[in-house]
Structure 1
């Protein structure tokens, strides 16, 4: 009847609030704009259709104090914000894969409450906000996706391949009639049981998914003029809602029992058990028709749909009062380089002007120190990976070659992230800084070319030197990651005297200093076999321990990047 993308638009136009919205994973272009225009034509008359830009403040999205109106009237006047203006309509989120987790969380909270609850300057306001969300995902990489909390609340996903310009669309009058009759569509408990069981078989843990699917099935039945949900409606809803969320291939049904066991089972089975069998049979049929062939192949290969894991923010972001991108305001006093946000200060003072003018006649605008709002900035800090390499003994040549390769691989990404890499080598009785923190690839290659090796192992000296460098970088506002590569054969103490017992004691003491400094550390055991002392050393440092007897540069580079403080790609 219709293509899947058209079905999604039609069902969402019938039940926009109940289905939450959709994600359109496609680049900007005529095909996407034509699809949005056709979808808008199916909406109810006078429905709001607003776009939310990427960089939007809380004041704009949630509303707040209208400063000019407040000063003009002498009383607090609040605005409804973008979400309040979208009540009963659709919100289009541009570049949804790049919105911050904070903005996504506020948007999700409003979608759950169906209202904007704003408390600002001792004034609480509530604005109704029931809307559907169309998230425009322009991510190039499969791991680039909108925040999970937002995707969780959107029923559908539309891919670039589904935006066909010559697709057949339903008539707006037919969609409007289906919207009016939606409340009278009946759905049985069996339909919900089938969808829940199918969601479990596909590895979908969210309870919203089968509920979205049931709503989609009811909307499909309404669009086709039926009074109750049919099997074809369930299959359509499962294909549109559940299939894109699948994380595993449904398990095959169990083999048939022998005839004698089947007869015994049939005799002992009560009539009320026939219904679950019918449900299971229909689930098995639905499993065969729901999953597209390409998705089924991807799931079988272990490459199912992935979504970006978005945390509370980028690890390398820090709050500053002097530089960076604006990140809200806070109450505070001037001084120390802090910048006054005049607009927010006036907003804080405006509700109190009538009361203050009564106390101080003749003063048109009375601002107190409690009204001061200081601008906060979020500054992106640089990550610095400090490699401390054990350059002693016969294994130095192989391990140093691996460290060189890992440093060069990490440096290749530094041009994008503007991160830095440093290299320390310890042997004999000293620790030498061969490569200070840098992101200059040519300089790094020259410094790595002549890295020497051989001699005893001053492990404590190397750990202390790496810790001092890490603390120095942190004082500069950088985010250090200490990577220690050693086989644990310490034989030179901190005082430069030989002795394995004293050297081991000093190394553990130096490791505890790293833990006390709260440094992010990674200990790589480069011995041919994992050494208990190196694992103990990692425990004292509160570091991740990685035995790596057969390492290669790319493997070591991936381990360093997986620490989180030194990631392969930065969040926008």
Structure 2
């Protein structure tokens, strides 16, 4: 198909100055995953996991600059290709001889606070109010069509928005049925999400929907770190000159992506290689068949990227390293990862290398990075294929393979793992000097106890209807859910019926005399008020003194905390942990949704010594105060796990009572789990519950399920 030449004045849009993709060093797997998704958007996007300051955003923004320029139909809001225009385009149908222009591939960033109508599109209020017609206003998915949609901190985005994005990326279309609008348009895009696992995890169902995942970490080699800083400083000092320095490498990567796209349809995936893909996925016990499909597509894209016309085991290996880590079966608190030894055993020895090895460009010339000193994508013409194990034994690149995530374990400053499992020490660390009145002396012996397997917690909900962030727990007025009314809010979905009702009394004064259209003004617009579920904060205040450890209760306490944390992870809640023992208390786990960090902090929690109950309540009170400032709409539930004894400081019981009454006066919803056992009981926990205005739940033996059930019962 031929088209008239574009208008020279608007033929090409200038590319913005961004850090060159080919100048990024030390992130080989990330560069490979991004380029494979650029070659084949059908892979389903990339999820980039890593700590802060690891060039995640820099690499993603740089990818758009090396994607080939696009021809677009002039005036089409959806960026249709003039040679393959979408026949159902809302701005179409486009004539074969329609004018067209050339533009760079777009990078559209989705803010964390975006609403679903901003993402998918909604009713055009200007057209509705000004001309009285129903028209569609495209959203971010339309703007990102044939480009990249980038979501920073995707783990902080609400689940229903992530579902929308992943559906659009997988299907290549966006369908809107809302506010009288019925529209479907193309949404072929590369979805890239970045996240810091310390700020919370994505649910496994959402992890599985991302095609590829990459774990990134800052390089540990001083020379490589210095090179990263050197390049960043050079770019900040003079973006133009730094970009010009890498212009040849950028052009080479751009040409190679275009060539790989053109040859992708000709890449052969033989039955033998398809069987190999299935064997690899079965060996890692992944659920469903999405892993097989994504691995096959990624292997074909890798072959096209390497300049081959058929898939080899090297391609399957590279694809599996990126497509399977987040899909393998694992325990709730295990970080995603892949056993590469198992992968090598399944794949075995590769067949002889065909024409077009990885160390050559599609044109047959040797890739600059094949002999480059740093081995990163920035020192050669394009990102290298570090994941395919095609490096020779004498590779002198000096680049280390990406760090694989490790199971949750004790931190360096914590006691050793052998101590964490020495539950028997709990029997020897009691309050041996207790006088029986709750104020006696206590042993200073310190031990640790391991945690059992977490149980699945039932739904814990707060009373009443809140207004917190959308989640999966308590009833609340949120941005998603069932429509329960209308409001005059400035944003949100338009409530058409309420808008018409608001405008109806004013029609005659506005000049309407006949059956013509309803005369609307902006003041008439009403937004839908929805009720759904919110996320909450569960703060556990745990007695870790000797009296708790004497009967081996700490193992049950830790298991209960893990159970609540697992439940909070699944329901998008926050969980915090305060412990008190010895002479003071500490916030062991600041309110968080990260199960990995929480499990590591909890594993080596020590116990033994005196019981500073007042200090524990004070730390809990301060934690809730700060969280109320940070997020005033998130409702907390304080769970105090103790036998009620107070044996540290002057007048410990009186001080505890004062703090407890202060918490009650502040309206903190609390529950006291009474851990006192034995024939003779002092009833101190019941007294504490009365002072807190909390429910008192006495138990004979403390078990993980007891704490969880107590929390459920109090908040229901």
1:364 aligned to which of 495, 519, 524 = 519
**Aligned 8 A contact 1:60 1:82 in 2:** yes
Post-superposition CA distance 1:461-492 (Å, at most 9, x none): xxxxx9xx9xx98x998654441213264899
1:38 aligns with 62
Aligned residue in 2 for 1:327: 478
Cα 1:64/1:13, change in 2 over 3 Å: same
| CA deviation after TM superposition for structure 1 residue 172, in Å | 1.0
**8 Å contact kept, 1:318–1:380:** no
* SS across alignment from 2:175: strand
Distance 1:190 1:406 in 2: 66
Q: How does 1:45-56 map to 2 (within 5 A)?
A: 45-46=69-70, 47-56=105-114
Q: CA deviation at 1:51?
A: 0.1
Distance 1:134 1:70, change over 3 A: same
Which stretch shifts more, 173-182 or 96-105? 96-105
Distance 1:186 1:384, change over 3 A: closer
1:10 equivalenced with 2:35 (yes/no): yes
Shift in CA distance, 377/243, structure 1 to aligned 2, threshold 3 Å:
closer
Q: CA deviation at 1:97?
A: 2.7
Judge which range, 403-412 or 63-72, deviates more: 403-412
Task: Give 3-state SS (helix, strand or coil) of 1:545's partner.
Answer: helix
Q: What is the CA distance between 1:113 and its match in structure 2?
A: 3.7
**Conservation of the 8 A alpha-carbon contact between 2:44 and 2:190:** yes
In the alignment, which residue of structure 2 is the partner of 1:93?
Answer: 151
Q: Structure 1-normalised TM-score? A: 0.58
Alpha carbons of structure 1 residues 220 and 111: separation in structure 2 relative to 1, 3 Å: closer
Q: From 232, 254, 267, give the equivalent of 2:314.
A: 232
Of 484, 489, 512, 1:341 maps to 489
Determine the structure 1 residue equivalent to 2:269.
187
Rounded Cα–Cα distance in structure 2 between residues aligned with 1:376 and 1:340: 16
- Indicate the SS of the match to 2:265: helix
Q: Give the stretch that moved more between structures: 201-210 or 186-195.
A: 201-210
Task: Write the deviation string for residues 82-110 of structure 1: whole angstroms up to 9, x where unpaired.
Answer: 12322222111022232222322332333
Residues 409/88 of structure 1: CA separation in 2 closer, same or farther (3 Å cut): farther
Q: Is the 8 A contact 1:340 1:372 kept in 2?
A: yes
Relative to 1, partners in 2 of residues 1:16 and 1:235: Cα closer, same or farther, differing over 3 Å? same
Match of 1:145 among 187, 190, 201: 201
Larger relative contact order (CA 8 Å, sep ≥ 6): 2
Matched length: 446
Deviations 1:295-318 (A, max 9, x none): 679469899xxxxxxx99996697
Q: Which range is displaced more, 324-333 or 103-112? A: 324-333
Measured in 2, the distance between the counterparts of 1:102 and 1:37 equals 25
Partner of 2:118: 60
Q: What displacement does 1:63 show?
A: 1.4
Cα 1:16/1:342, change in 2 over 3 Å = closer
Superimposed CA distance per residue, residues 312-349 of structure 1 (whole angstroms, 9 cap, x where no aligned partner): 99966974479999833875568xxxx53366696625
531, 542, 545: which one aligns with 2:706: 545
Range with bigger deviation, 412-421 or 74-83: 412-421
Whether the 8 Å contact between 1:381 and 1:477 is mirrored in structure 2 is no
Q: Quick one: structure 1 residues 27 and 158, their matched pair in 2 at CA, closer, same or farther if it must change by over 3 Å?
A: same
Partner of 1:133: 191
Name the structure 1 match of 2:673. Answer: 483
Indicate conservation of the 8 Å contact 2:36/2:302, yes or no. Answer: yes
> Which structure has more helix as a fraction of its residues?
1
The 3 A distance-change label for structure 1 pair 406 and 136 is farther
Q: How does 1:267-282 map to 2 (within 5 A)?
A: none
Asked if 1:175 is matched to 2:175, the reply is no
TM-score, length basis structure 2:
0.48
Deviates further, 344-353 or 121-130: 344-353
Match of 1:78 in 2: 136
What pairs with 1:121-520 in structure 2 (closer than 5 Å)?
A: 121-139=179-197, 141=198, 144-154=200-210, 155-161=212-218, 170-205=252-287, 207-243=289-325, 283-285=347-349, 298=406, 319-320=465-466, 327-328=478-479, 340-341=488-489, 348=496, 364-365=519-520, 373-374=528-529, 383=538, 404=611, 408=615, 412=619, 415=623, 417=627, 448=652, 479-487=669-677, 489=679
In the superposition, relative to structure 1, how do residues 379 and 158 fare at CA in structure 2: closer, same or farther (>3 Å)?
closer
- 1:264 counterpart residue number: none
Aligned mates of 2:347, 2:713 — CA distance in 1: 45
Q: By how many angstroms is 1:178 displaced? A: 0.9
Give the 5 Å matches for 1:21-32: 21-23=46-48, 25-28=50-53, 31-32=55-56
Matched residue SS, 1:486: coil
Q: Mark the runs of 5 or more structure 1 residues left unpaired by the alignment.
A: 254-278, 304-310, 427-432, 436-443, 453-465, 494-506, 508-518, 527-534, 536-542, 547-558, 567-572
In 2, Cα distance between the equivalents of 1:293 and 1:171? 22
Q: Is the 8 A contact 2:674 2:696 kept in 1?
A: no
Mapped partners of 2:41, 2:698: distance in 1: 49
Q: How many Å separate the matches in 2 of 1:230 and 1:120?
A: 47
